[in-house]
Amino acid sequence: MTRSRMANEDKILLAHGSGGKMSHDLVEKAFVRALANPLLAPLDDSAVADFRGRLAFTTDSYVVTPIFFPGGDIGRLAVCGTVNDLSTSGARPLYLSLAFIIEEGLPLKDLQKVVESVRATAEEAGVQVITGDTKVVEHGSADRLFINTAGIGRIPAGVNISGSNASPGDKVLVSGTIGDHGIAVLSKRQGLSFGTRLKSDCAPLGKMVAGMVKSSRNLHSLRDPTRGGLATTLNELAKQSRVGIRIEETKIPVRDEVTGACEMLGLDPLYIANEGKMIAIVAPGGADNVLAAMKRDRYGKDAAIIGEVIAEHPGRVVMKTVLGSSRIVDMLVGEPLPRIC
């Protein structure tokens, strides 16, 4: 075997996306063996599963760069993001679809590393990948690897959680430190590298949320503060429920490394993406129970009550700053950090 032939075999080629023999071999070798489960096994064009109840359905594409970053990679991200979106409706995440768009030339070992990360994260989250798709585009027509996952979950009877349920008097909780994901990814960008031991918070929150849902019937809203950060997500909740939200800057958990990097780069942690955090809005009587349920989970140890829902300023978020003054916290405008998820 010649040297160039060996090199070719180590990279993804256009023919791997043809739908023909090389596609079948790649799917079998790189995906089916790693993700094996009884619902994926038939390899029909649709997977089939029995289902009864209230179904939650969501999708996200993942275009993060670089695809490997401290604390995770695009595969872990693609499972966590969709699992967490399902969790925001109180659903138990069950099934994922997994679609890869691969740039020709991606090393096969990078693909395998990402698929292994999908496998491990799906196992941790208790979900099964039951259907998938692979496309390959020419060198220069994509940036290494994009992943889309869609997810299906089941919402337990009696659970009614929505971004439109927040009421004045409710407490606002966050499950831990903010900004870790965005700053960790940024620290590995070409031309921007800076020394930090910070890791992405990228994590599947289904089990933590299941505990929170069980802990109180007063859980009104859940949302994971990804793109746009805590500030943007709180604004979404305020607008959707037509209420105001007041938060206290001193109560928001932020790691020193994130504060430091943000000062250096001129960024605000409130707008930095998170991939393993959940915001909860809870009627006052349930707030302590939900906080305790968060803290019992490995991903909620640093949870805190950071504010409350108010009748004033509907659709707005106001923050009592460290200095004691109040200011409006708007949605993210512009795009300081593209391709963070």
Within a 13 Å sphere around the CA of 288, how many CA atoms are in the beta-carbon half?
A: 1
Of 8, 28, 55, 311, the one binding a copy of itself by CB under 8 A: 55
Of 12, 17, 200, 258, the one binding a copy of itself by CB under 8 A: 17
> Does 63 interact with a copy of itself (rule: CB under 8 A)?
yes
Number of residues that bind a copy of itself (CB under 8 A): 85
DSSP secondary structure string for all residues of 65-123: SSSEETTEEHHHHHHHHHHHHHHTTTPEEEEEEEEEEEETT-BHHHHHHHHHHHHHHHH
Site for a copy of itself in 112-131 (CB under 8 A): 130-131
Of 119, 181, 220, 227, the one binding a copy of itself by CB under 8 A: 227
Of 30, 150, 203, 213, the one binding a copy of itself by CB under 8 A: 150
> Does 244 interact with a copy of itself (rule: CB under 8 A)?
no
Per-residue burial over 298-335, b = 16 or more CB atoms within 10 Å of its CB, e = otherwise:
ebbebbbbbbbbbeeeeebbbbbeeeeeeeebebbeee
Stretch that binds a copy of itself, among 30-38, 92-100, 185-193, 285-293 (CB under 8 A): 92-100
Count the neighbouring beta carbons within 10 Å of the beta carbon of residue 338. 8
Least distance to a copy of itself, CB of residue 292, Å: 24
Q: Using CB under 8 A as the criterion, what x/- string covers residues 270-289 for binding a copy of itself? A: -x-x----------------
> Does 133 interact with a copy of itself (rule: CB under 8 A)?
yes
Q: Using CB under 8 A as the criterion, what x/- string covers residues 30-49 for binding a copy of itself? A: ------------xxxxxxxx
DSSP letter (8 states) at residue 231 = H
Between β-strands 128-137 and 92-103, what pairing exists: parallel, antiparallel or unpaired? parallel
CA atoms of 96 and 153, how far apart (whole Å): 9
Which of 83, 82, 254 lies closest to 174 in space, CA to CA? 254
Stretch that binds a copy of itself, among 28-36, 140-148, 189-197, 283-291 (CB under 8 A): 140-148
